[in-house]
Structure 1
Amino acid sequence: MHAPEAKIAIEGIAKVFYKKKQSILALQDITLRIQDGEFVTLLGPSGCGKTTLLRILAGLEKPSAGHFDVRRTDEQKPLQSMIFQENGVIPWMTVEQNVAFGLNLRKLPAKLVKERTHYYLEKTGLTPFAKLYPKELSGGMKQRVSIARAFANDPELLLMDEPFAALDEQNKFILQEELLRIWEEHRKTVVFITHSIDEAILVSDRIVLMSAHPGRIVAEKRIDLPRPRSVEQIRSDPGMAQLFVEIWNHLQREVQGARSEFKPCKG
């Protein structure tokens, strides 16, 4: 049997940044296949190029070598929506206007915009706050707005760069569960970045481990724990506890190795 065609096919991507007379190789020979509806997390030490790879997929950076392809299923949908670590809400728009922003930009029928906006306001618990402005919201509420807007726009891909990193533990757990609950309904293809091993195990179908820079893919871990999952479940499961230790040891080795190995190249 042939393997299913990948939703995202990344082939030999490299990225070099130039500054003055130095060049820094941020990514090296990244090759990866991500299936339709798969939730894949990139996990590696700080500075390994995770965000750079996500920005390449978002079209915000160009690779220095290699390429990627996305198999589109509906040309009417936007290719991707990106959720950043810092909230990306538009300050002069209300919550409702923020969620509807992408839909209005696409000039969809007003009735459809209203229906889809209200649906995701309800799904994220934002309906009571629909007429408020971002300055009146907490950090967690602003991230809810970002999540609602991304799903409402119905993209082919969701790209998420540490969306919960700035939140306290309680809000982080709540939003993780809300994200997964919405994702379970529609099974969008997601590429997710985090520094949290617990979070990676909780949300992922597959964790892609990266080396210290230059970022390379060094291992993959498939999460076979049935969904829906909870933080309590992954912390009490012996298999997940062992996986946590394996990933932790990988990160420790990469961080320690990077301290002595990184030297900028003279250009």
Structure 2
Amino acid sequence: MKPKIELRGLTKVFVKKTGSVTALEDISLNVGEGEFVCLVGPSGCGKTTLLRILAGLETQSAGELKIHAEQSARPLQSMVFQEKGILPWMTVRDNVSFGLEMRKAPKSVIAEQTAYYLEKTGLSKFAHLYPSELSGGMKQRVSIARAFANDPEILLMDEPFAALDEQNKFILQEELLSIWSETRKTVLFITHSIDEALMLSDRILLMSAQPGKIIQEVRIDRPRPRKIEEIRKDPELAGQFVDIWKHLQQEVQKTRK
């Protein structure tokens, strides 16, 4: 698989008045073109910092980062947060079209892309509403629709469904995979949910407690879509669930010592 993202020895140290904190240490990995990769690790292990570096919002302290961009007018990456990414003074439609408007795409493209992703995420009849009038699940649909409408090469997703109830989470996971299967974006997705990682990803990268390191890779060799009941009944997936759970338990215990 052609690499889209390459990291070699990437380290991030935050310097404070009271001393320095190493958030990430010696991160080396490849993410292939069109691959869906989940990052799983204890709180504070540097997952979000890693995504922020990839998004250009932070700079690494050491190591090498390469993103193999296409020679096109498409943006390189878009980032989806937990309910923090949409603009409260804009309607749903204006939020979804925002990225396209900012890069001055042709009006016909803006109209077509916006309408398409409003429809794909079930937001067409809510296009005139403002974020204050939406549920948490609908706000996340807006964030996902905007990210895909902007047509980035890479999607960086930071626990986008963590604040949702289980029913909305499953619906949005299925919608995300449906859109991803059409577009084959390269996705790096942070989650604390083992079920979510098993349902969505090609690979799961397990991170250590701070300083964050990638200490294990889990490949998910199952066709999509994957249902939660299938994950629980499949002996191999169930075994992977237990292994990941044990890893997280061990790393969380390290943070308490």
Q: Which residue of 1 aligns with 2:183?
A: 186
Question: Which of 133, 138, 145 is the aligned partner of 2:135?
Answer: 138
- The one-letter code sitting in structure 2 at the alignment partner of 1:204 is S
Kept in 2, the 8 Å contact 1:87–1:143? The answer is: no
Q: Within 2, Cα distance between the matches of 1:187 and 1:5?
A: 13
The TM-score, its normalising length taken from structure 1, stands at: 0.94
Question: Which of 1, 11, 15 is the aligned partner of 2:12?
Answer: 15
Q: Within 1, Cα distance between the matches of 2:181 and 2:63?
A: 32
Question: Which of 61, 64, 68 is the aligned partner of 2:61?
Answer: 64
Q: Within 1, Cα distance between the matches of 2:67 and 2:143?
A: 23
User: What's the RMSD between the two structures over aligned residues?
Assistant: 0.9
5 Å matches for 1:108-187? Answer: 108-187=105-184
Structure 1 residue 104 corresponds to structure 2 residue 101: yes
Structure 1 position 158, deviation (Å): 0.1
SS in 2 for 1:81: strand
Structure 1 position 73, deviation (Å): 2.0
SS in 1 for 2:3: coil
Q: Which residue of 2 aligns with 1:43?
A: 40
Structure 1 position 259, deviation (Å): 2.1
5 Å matches for 1:159-238? Answer: 159-238=156-235
| Percent identity between the two aligned chains | 67
Q: Within 2, Cα distance between the matches of 1:82 and 1:57?
A: 10
Q: Within 2, Cα distance between the matches of 1:234 and 1:72?
A: 35
Structure 1 position 139, deviation (Å): 0.6
Q: Within 2, Cα distance between the matches of 1:74 and 1:184?
A: 23
Structure 1 residue 240 corresponds to structure 2 residue 237: yes
SS in 2 for 1:16: strand
Kept in 2, the 8 Å contact 1:87–1:142? The answer is: no
Q: Which sections of structure 2, spanning at least 5 residues, go unmatched? A: none
Kept in 2, the 8 Å contact 1:41–1:206? The answer is: yes
Structure 1 position 143, deviation (Å): 0.4
Q: Which residue of 2 aligns with 1:87?
A: 84
Q: Which residue of 1 aligns with 2:70?
A: 73
Q: 1:177 to 1:220 in 2, by over 3 A?
A: same
Kept in 1, the 8 Å contact 2:83–2:139? The answer is: no
SS in 2 for 1:7: strand
Q: Within 2, Cα distance between the matches of 1:95 and 1:257?
A: 43
Q: Within 1, Cα distance between the matches of 2:233 and 2:168?
A: 21
Q: Give the ranges of 4+ consecutive aligned residues of structure 1 lying more than 4 Å apart after TM superposition.
A: none
Q: How many residue pairs are counted as aligned between the two chains?
A: 257
Structure 1 position 230, deviation (Å): 1.6
Q: Which residue of 2 aligns with 1:33?
A: 30
- 1:206-239 Cα offsets, whole Å, 9 max, x none, are 0000000100010000000111212222122111
Structure 1 position 75, deviation (Å): 2.7
Q: Within 2, Cα distance between the matches of 1:85 and 1:66?
A: 28
Q: Within 2, Cα distance between the matches of 1:61 and 1:203?
A: 27
Kept in 2, the 8 Å contact 1:28–1:214? The answer is: yes
